[in-house]
Amino acid sequence: MRGSSLFWTVEARVRARWPDAFCLSLSKGVHEGQLRARRVAMSDIDKLNVDSVIARLLEVRGSRPGKNVQLTETEIRALALKSREIFLRQPILLELEAPLKICGDIHGQYYDLLRLFEYGSFPPEANYLFLGDYVDRGKQSLETICLLLAYKIKYPENFFLLRGNHECASINRIYGFYDECLSPDLHSMEQIRRIMRPTDVPEQGLLCDLLWSDPDKETTGWGENDRGVSFTFGADVVTKFLHNHDLDLICRAHQVVEDGYEFFAKRQLVTLFSAPNYCGEFDNAGAMMSVDESLTCSFQILKPADKKKFNLGSLNAVWPVTPPRNTKLKDK
């Protein structure tokens, strides 16, 4: 293919619209008339350190899949706006010279995107054309689109992105990318007060997170939950939440802990589990926390009973350990 040109026609509004739609989705429904907010965002473009963004996005190589990358909203907005300038500046009909590596749908599978770069060489060692559908369905659409846009900004003449049908705000609202752009943080207690009852537990959103999220010592910010639903959160999330809501301690359950209680985030969160020898499998203690008039907390420990006194085999058959949420859904 040396010396020949490769042609791709791009939908007429590709260059003008899809990064803009991404930016609008990110800002949680900001409509096109909010020009003042747009001008403020444009001022952040000059502050964008694209090398720093790329370095952080690549730091997770070798980590377990699902580890999130911490980028600020200002950085993400600047990526969208800066790349928009480049898309508008370049022609709508791409005439690209070989050699060239061409990639299809990514759909938020960020770690597989990194594997593609490992196989084909990271930019600028190779020229790339991506054919669209970068977001939705996968769990890390935000990291995916941010790395692609960062490379587009860094290597505008060697890295090319076409628009797919998922580069559209209305589609993003249905298939997952829009939800990734909304913080999993609980912003106010009023959000809990507004939850209508009776209600079933949804598969995502605030109510789901209240019931399914877990602390994780290895996580900074929010991470993927091995249960297959909701998130894990780090000590920094706990500290920020307590500060924002003028609280001293979070008390939660939901996980077996060996001693019946376990502190997290420098004693800012405590997990309580009150069923000793859970399902006859864990040999854990149970605990009860008491809070006195001075708000001092103390714990009473319930040791596991003698296993020989109980027939636990039949119990396990009837009440298995709580499965991950995705397993539960498959059984329906």
Distance of CA 167 to the CA centre of its chain: 18
Same CATH topology for 5-180 and 211-331?
yes
**pLDDT at residue number 247:** 87
**299-306: long-range contacts (C-beta < 8 A, 24 or more apart)?**
299/260, 299/261, 301/259, 301/260, 302/260, 302/274, 302/276, 303/276, 304/276, 304/277, 305/276, 305/277
Q: Tell me the percentage of the chain whose pLDDT exceeds 90.
A: 15
Domain 5-180, what architecture? 4-Layer Sandwich (3.60)
Looking at residue 170, its pLDDT comes to 54
Asked whether 303 and 294 are in contact (CB, 8 A), the reply is: no
Residues classed as catalytic: 166
Structure-block tokens of residue 178: 């829009």
Dmax of the chain from CA atoms? 82
Q: Which of 14-28, 125-139, 263-277, 288-302 has the highest mean pLDDT?
A: 263-277
**Residue 312: exposure state from Cβ atoms within 10 A (0-12, 13-18, ≥19):** middle
Q: What is the pLDDT of residue 192?
A: 76
* pLDDT digits 0-9 by tens, 52-108: 999 999 998 888 777 778 888 888 889 988 998 998 888 766 777 878 887 777 778
The whole-angstrom separation of Cα 25 and Cα 20 is 9
Q: Is 63 helix (H, G, I), strand (E, B) or coil?
A: coil
Q: What is the pLDDT of residue 37?
A: 52
Structure tokens at 326: 């995705």
Confidence (pTM) = 0.48
Options 3.40.50.2300, 3.40.50.1980, 3.60.21.10, 1.10.3720.10; CATH for 211-331 is 3.60.21.10
Sequence-ordered list of residues with C-beta below 8 angstroms from that of 49, at least 6 positions apart, any chain: none
Query: Hey, where are the domains in the chain?
Result: 5-180, 211-331
